[in-house]
């Protein structure tokens, strides 16, 4: 818990530093101090998350066009006729997640969900509705260097054919809640998958949001 509090502080410091850097272009002394705060926060984030300093630093450097804002992760929720949920096996850790990934510039959330399902599974889907908008900080994911909102979107299969090997994915299967595989916890945790099954069983359930 203490590490999570320090992580939150480090992220907040990085956000303040980036805003200060952006608005102090004509004040070299202030900019130098904000740069120092930024470097210190990157060091803290690297120590806590075990991500390389270069990876975290590069991510924040790319976003220095103003205040730092959360990254957005889109996850598609697809159920088959038996009521089981579609999951993909991530090559990066050998564990399973809902199809999805980072939101892309130029795509709506719905378009990202459709694109990710097609690219990762071969299935064509249409979006039905948003089920949940989650602040990743409030859920038991492993610590990471950036602040993330997760959007879960219910989708319906309209065509396509499952293929089980892509650049990032090594398998695609449907699972029941009682028979879930080992989850890729940076991407999704058990409580979130359970929530998706609750929506399957209650189509009138209101959108969950943190």
Cα 185 to chain center, whole Å?
10
- The more confident residue out of 117 and 14 is 117
pLDDT of residue 67: 62
User: Which residues is 151 bridged to in the sheet?
Assistant: 74, 133
pLDDT of residue 59: 61
pLDDT of residue 4: 57
- 186-197 pLDDT tens trace: 999 999 999 999
For residues 47 and 143, give the distance between their C-alpha atoms in angstroms, rounded to a whole number: 11
78 in Cβ contact with 84 (< 8 Å): no
Using pLDDT thresholds of 50, 70 and 90, give the confidence band for residue 148. very high
Is the pLDDT at 115 greater than 80, yes or no? yes
pLDDT of residue 1: 47
Using pLDDT thresholds of 50, 70 and 90, give the confidence band for residue 28. confident
User: What percentage of the chain exceeds 70 in pLDDT?
Assistant: 90
Question: CA 124 → CA 34, 74, 151, distances in Å?
Answer: 47, 16, 19
Is the pLDDT at 205 greater than 60, yes or no? yes
Q: Chain-wide mean pLDDT for the chain?
A: 87
Q: What is the mean pLDDT of residues 158-168?
A: 92
Phi-psi region of 92 (alpha: psi -120 to 50; beta: other; left: phi over 0): alpha
- The more confident residue out of 25 and 64 is 25
Two tokens, residue 7: 């992580």
Two tokens, residue 150: 């997760």
Is the pLDDT at 16 greater than 60, yes or no? yes
Which strands, in side-by-side order, build the sheet including 71-78?
100-102, 71-78, 148-160, 123-135, 208-209
pLDDT of residue 42: 80
**Exposed, middle or buried: residue 202 (CB in 10 Å: 0-12, 13-18, 19+)?**
exposed
Q: What CATH architecture is 71-209?
A: Alpha-Beta Complex (3.90)
For residues 137 and 148, give the distance between their C-alpha atoms in angstroms, rounded to a whole number: 7
- 70-100 pLDDT tens trace: 889 999 999 999 999 999 999 999 999 999 9
Q: Parse the chain into domains and list their residue ranges.
A: 2-62, 71-209
For residues 141 and 126, give the distance between their C-alpha atoms in angstroms, rounded to a whole number: 28
Q: Rounded to 5 degrees, what are φ and ψ at 168?
A: -110, -15
For residues 121 and 165, give the distance between their C-alpha atoms in angstroms, rounded to a whole number: 8
pLDDT of residue 10: 74
- 32-50 pLDDT tens trace: 888 888 788 788 877 877 7
């Amino acid at each position: 818990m203490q590490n999570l509090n320090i992580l939150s502080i480090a992220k907040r410091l990085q956000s303040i530093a980036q805003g200060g850097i952006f608005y102090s272009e004509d004040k070299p002394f202030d900019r130098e101090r904000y740069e120092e705060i930024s470097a210190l926060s990157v060091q803290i984030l690297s120590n806590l998350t075990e991500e390389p300093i270069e990876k975290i630093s590069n991510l924040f450097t790319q976003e220095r066009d103003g205040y730092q804002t959360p990254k957005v992760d889109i996850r598609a929720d697809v159920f088959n006729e038996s009521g089981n949920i579609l999951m993909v096996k991530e090559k990066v850790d050998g564990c399973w997640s809902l199809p999805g990934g980072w939101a892309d510039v130029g795509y709506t959330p719905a378009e990202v969900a459709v694109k990710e399902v097609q690219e990762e599974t071969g299935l064509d889907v249409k979006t039905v509705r948003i089920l949940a908008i989650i602040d990743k900080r409030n859920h038991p994911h492993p610590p990471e260097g950036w602040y993330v909102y997760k959007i879960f979107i219910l989708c319906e299969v309209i065509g396509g054919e499952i293929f089980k090997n892509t650049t990032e994915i090594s398998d695609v299967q449907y699972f029941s809640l009682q028979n879930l595989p080992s989850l890729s916890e940076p991407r999704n945790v058990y409580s979130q998958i359970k929530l998706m099954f609750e929506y399957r069983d209650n189509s009138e359930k209101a959108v969950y949001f943190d």
